[in-house]
């Protein structure tokens, strides 16, 4: 239905509702059953689809083929072992994926938007999900439109529709406009759309579409159908896997050919080659990465950092610039009135109700009247003021000084309002006194804006002493405002003027001219206690912090200094930014750490300028207009508590607590994750090389096959998946935030690390072969030699995992129990191996024989020598050894 092309009356008739009283509860309940909740649905895979997804991977397909071959050529238990591995891998990936999705859903439950709705003639505040077609909703400046709605009545209504149309300027709305049926969204002036923001004015409207039937829902459906590209790290891991497959297949085929040529039984050699392929082909390399990332993501979620897109974890470790909002992120977002300048003097406010000068009291009254905050529970002790932080501070100051905001609202009836907007930077209300019937305009706003409208002022403490305002007075007021802002205060000006009569706010310029300036209000937004140490960590880690705020330049600089942002760098205002070309901004942006008096549209230019310098940029935002900058940034960070749905959808990470320290924690966690991914890969690849080198060297030197298929399979199950996952429990390296960010695009295993991995694999293989050949050539049976080799390989790889816990700190500095998951996996791996070797009923299955105490001593010595040589260089790393974690 083209609701925009019919009148509001026709809309009401077609939806069988009422434009004054709305729906009743019975009817709204019936429609909820018919249309469902008003929310954007997510494309969900069924459990069967999620279970089958891992088996589409090429490596899993290869493993299945290997299992089938074992079923025909080998013994049943060998085939069972391989298919057990396949099932384990599928279960692990499915569980982790579902946990990640569950974390996203849990956060979304906590951030439901609210809507003002009229039902049964009574105004109610509902969760946005409870709206149904036919509901009568109320909209005002700052609201997010909770559903697609046909306007019934509107006053100076403008909405921001960038999320739908890409148009950054606000769109004027007119419920009485005549619009063609085929008009595009941007021309549908009689409609308000789900997900857009009311920038100015007020309106009432009838809901015509909810959930996925809205225009935003149609876009969401199209987005869901687009597949997300793999991250650069995933692509590099896939390349590494393919190279490993190629090398493994060639070397395994070589082992089989050489074995057959040397006279080994063909079936035994073929089965050994297949087992070797199973062990050396890195079929679970992608799983290790997924497990590592998901465990880290779950850890972040517990600290209020929700990662929505996998690439965000990768980007966190490479971030070089964080562009952050001030209010609520670096500060507590709890404004408190501390200073009032009026009558040429400054009054300091406290909680005591000892009394303030009459003119200061007048300042608070004007601030209270030109205000849309509301008081909850006024008749109880738990009074709560709800609304914009600046406006709630003014209401709270009145209460603290013994003034009654509710009594004021009854005494002065509001006749009209000129809402705040970014261009005017002020708000005006028109009120009529119940006692005198006089009509006044009461105004609050930015000092430079209000003074430009003022023609008179009150220089003294007498309320009737009003004189023309001259340039000297203007300069004095602005100097005072600058001084207050320099002290870190947010400063508003207030004023008023009498009106002879009032009809409409349409004639805004006339209403807002000739104002009597009364005074300045200074408010403090105290920095969060954790902001300073978090910023210090960023600076230490080579990450630049840039503060972006709509506050006055002096206020912004004062707050920046208070939280530890580089005070030596420059501050730039939005006006100065508008006067610069993109090239000029790119040339100067490295010297700027504070952007003041900016609007959301400026953020996009800031992001692009930093990216031109090769920086990896994290950008915070909460509004719809922030969405373009959040998407443009390398990692967009949305506010979960105060942000809009559109901002959260555009971001790669959501802060559930809107706290800057959470960004820094997530960045630190991102570095930790990739340190641990590097450790896991280093261990994993070294273990593969060890198995491969054992087989190749034994074949070349003419030794019998050192390991049997079932032994290789057991080693695979015990070590690879369990120990690799345990690396993600490793504590951060002590220098995790004392080194520059990782260079984006560089693979986690550099050449130096690759050489070390190869050396580890070869030395482990050497230890295994020494044990095997020494046992075999000294008169031991081939069964005993294989048992010894099997035990040595498992134990050496367990030692290798423990040894790879840190690249820089020796094991005795880490502590044996600091990573309990690693300890448990090591004990479990050795315990199962010991039982498989020493328990007679299991010996036929695993082709093992009983070993004596001296045999085990030999195994332990060989495994330790072949791995713990890595600890020697760590002993000389004095700087890190001195750091305790």
- State yes or no: pLDDT of 335 exceeds 60: yes
- Token pair in block for residue 476: 């004095």
Would you state the pLDDT for residue 818? 82
Q: State pLDDT tens for residues 745-766.
A: 666 677 888 888 999 999 999 9
- Comparing 269-283, 562-576, 688-702, the range with the smallest average pLDDT is 269-283
At 240-259, the pLDDT tens digits run 777 777 877 787 788 788 87
pTM above 0.85, yes or no: no
Q: Phi-psi bin for 594: left (phi > 0), alpha (psi -120 to 50), beta?
A: beta
Residue 219, Cα to own-chain centre: how many angstroms?
Answer: 22
Q: Under 8 Å CB-to-CB from 437, ≥6 apart: which residues? A: none
Question: Choosing from 78, 148, 156, 325, which is the catalytic residue?
Answer: 325
**Tens of pLDDT along 834-872?**
999 999 998 988 889 999 999 999 999 999 999 998 888
325 catalytic, yes or no?
yes
Over residues 262-290, the mean pLDDT reads 70
CA separation for the pair 160, 171 (Å, rounded): 6
Please check the confidence at residue 815 and state whether its pLDDT lies above 90. Answer: no
- Encode pLDDT of 72-121 as tens digits: 766 676 677 667 767 776 676 666 556 545 544 544 444 456 789 999 98
Output phi, psi for 518, to 5 deg.
-110, -45
314 pLDDT tier (thresholds 50, 70, 90)? confident
Q: Are 480 and 520 in contact (CB under 8 A)?
A: yes
Measured CA to CA, the distance from residue 591 to residue 764 in angstroms comes to 52
Residue 584: per-residue pLDDT: 93
Let me know: does 409 contact 395? Beta carbons within 8 Å. Answer: no
The whole-number pLDDT of residue 246 equals 80
Q: Which residues of 475-504 are buried (b: 16+ CB within 10 A; e: fewer)?
A: eebeebbbebbeebbbbbbbbbbebeebee
Element (H, E) at 715: helix 709-715
Chain mean pLDDT for the chain: 83
**SS3 category, 736:** coil
Is a pLDDT exceeding 60 seen at residue 879?
no
For residue 395, name the pLDDT band (cuts at 50, 70, 90). very high
* Three-state DSSP string of 15-45: CCCCCCCCECHHHHHHHHHHHCCCCCCCCCC
Q: How far is CA 538 from the centre of its chain?
A: 17
pLDDT tens, residue by residue, 593-615: 999 888 777 888 999 999 998 89
Arithmetic mean of pLDDT, 647-676 = 86
């Amino acid at each position: 239905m083209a609701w925009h092309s019919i009148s509001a009356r026709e809309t009401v008739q077609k939806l069988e509702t009422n434009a004054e009283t709305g729906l009743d509860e019975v009817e709204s309940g019936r429609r909820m059953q018919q249309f469902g909740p008003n929310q954007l649905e997510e494309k969900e895979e069924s459990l069967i689809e999620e279970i089958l997804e891992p088996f589409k991977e090429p490596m899993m397909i290869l493993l299945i083929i290997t299992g089938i071959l074992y079923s025909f050529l080998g013994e049943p238990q060998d085939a069972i072992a391989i298919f057990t591995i396949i099932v384990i891998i599928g279960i692990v990936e499915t569980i982790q994926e579902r946990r990640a999705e569950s974390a996203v859903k849990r956060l979304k439950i906590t951030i439901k938007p609210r809507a003002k709705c009229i039902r049964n003639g009574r105004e109610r505040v509902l969760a946005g999900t409870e709206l149904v077609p036919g509901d009568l909703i109320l909209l005002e400046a700052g609201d997010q439109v909770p559903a697609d709605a046909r306007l019934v009545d509107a006053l100076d209504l403008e909405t921001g529709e960038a999320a739908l149309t890409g148009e950054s300027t606000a769109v004027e709305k007119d419920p009485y406009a005549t619009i063609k049926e085929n008009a595009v969204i941007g021309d549908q002036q009689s409609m308000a759309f789900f997900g857009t923001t009311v920038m100015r004015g007020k309106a009432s409207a009838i809901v015509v579409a909810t959930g996925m039937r809205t225009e935003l829902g149609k876009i969401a459906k199209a987005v869901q159908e687009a597949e997300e590209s793999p991250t650069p790290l995933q692509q590099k891991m896939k390349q590494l896997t393919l190279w490993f497959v190629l090398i493994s297949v060639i070397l395994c085929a070589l082992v089989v050919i050489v074995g057959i040529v040397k006279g080994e039984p063909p079936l035994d050699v073929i089965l050994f080659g297949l087992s070797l392929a199973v062990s050396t082909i890195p079929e679970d390399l992608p799983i290790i990465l997924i497990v590592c990332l998901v465990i880290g993501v779950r850890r972040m979620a517990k600290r209020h950092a929700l990662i929505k897109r996998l690439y965000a974890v990768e980007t966190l470790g490479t971030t070089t610039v964080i562009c952050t909002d001030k209010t609520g992120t670096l500060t507590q977002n709890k404004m408190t009135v501390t200073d009032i300048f009026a009558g040429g003097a400054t009054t300091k406010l406290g909680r005591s109700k000892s009394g303030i000068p009459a003119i200061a009291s007048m300042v608070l009254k004007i601030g209270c009247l030109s205000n849309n905050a509301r008081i909850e529970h006024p008749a109880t002790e738990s009074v709560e003021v709800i609304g914009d932080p600046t406006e709630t501070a003014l209401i709270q100051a009145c209460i603290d000084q013994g003034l009654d905001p509710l009594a004021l609202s009854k005494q002065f009836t509001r006749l009209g309002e000129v809402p705040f907007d970014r261009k005017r930077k002020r708000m005006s209300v028109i009120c009529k006194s119940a006692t005198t019937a006089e009509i006044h305009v009461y105004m609050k706003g930015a000092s430079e804006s209000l003074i430009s409208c003022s023609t008179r002022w009150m220089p003294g403490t007498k309320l009737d002493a009003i004189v023309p305002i001259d340039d000297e007075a203007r300069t004095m007021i602005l100097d005072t405002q600058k001084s207050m802002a320099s002290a870190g205060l947010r400063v508003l000006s207030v004023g008023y003027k009498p009106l002879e009569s009032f009809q409409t706010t349409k004639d805004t310029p006339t209403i807002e001219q000739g104002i009597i300036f009364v005074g300045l209000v200074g408010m403090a937004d105290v920095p969060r206690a954790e902001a300073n140490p978090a910023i210090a960590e960023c600076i230490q880690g080579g990450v630049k912090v840039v503060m972006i705020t709509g506050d006055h330049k002096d206020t912004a600089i004062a707050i920046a200094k208070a939280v530890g942002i580089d005070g030596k760098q420059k501050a730039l205002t939005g006006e100065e930014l508008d006067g610069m070309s993109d090239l000029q901004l790119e040339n100067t942006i490295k010297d700027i750490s504070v952007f003041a008096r900016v609007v959301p549209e400026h953020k996009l230019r800031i992001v692009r300028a930093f990216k031109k310098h090769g920086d990896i940029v994290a950008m915070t935002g909460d509004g719809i207009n922030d969405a373009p900058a959040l998407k443009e940034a390398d990692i967009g960070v949305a506010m979960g508590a105060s942000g809009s749905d559109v901002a959260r959808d555009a971001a790669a990470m959501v802060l559930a607590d809107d706290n800057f320290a959470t960004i820094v924690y997530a960045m630190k966690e991102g570095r930790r994750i990739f340190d641990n991914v590097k450790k896991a890969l280093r261990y994993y690849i070294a273990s593969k090389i060890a198995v491969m080198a054992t087989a190749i060297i034994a074949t070349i030197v003419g030794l019998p096959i050192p390991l049997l298929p079932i032994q290789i399979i057991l080693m695979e199950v015990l070590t690879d998946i369990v120990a690799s996952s345990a690396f993600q429990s490793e504590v951060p390296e002590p220098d995790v935030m004392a080194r520059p960010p990782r260079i984006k695009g560089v693979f986690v295993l550099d050449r130096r690390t690759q050489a070390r991995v190869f050396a580890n694999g070869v030395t482990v293989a050497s230890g295994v072969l020494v044990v095997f050949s020494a046992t075999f050539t000294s008169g031991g049976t081939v069964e005993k030699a294989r048992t010894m080799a099997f035990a040595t390989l498992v134990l050496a790889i367990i030692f290798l995992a423990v040894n790879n816990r840190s690249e820089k700190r020796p094991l005795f500095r880490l502590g044996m129990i600091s990573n309990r998951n690693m300890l448990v996996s090591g004990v479990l791996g050795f315990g199962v191996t010991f039982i498989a070797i020493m328990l007679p009923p299991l010996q036929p299955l695993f082709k093992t024989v009983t070993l004596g105490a001296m045999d085990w001593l030999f195994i332990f010595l060989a495994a330790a020598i072949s791995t713990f040589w890595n600890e020697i260089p760590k002993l000389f790393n004095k700087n890190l050894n001195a750091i305790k974690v």
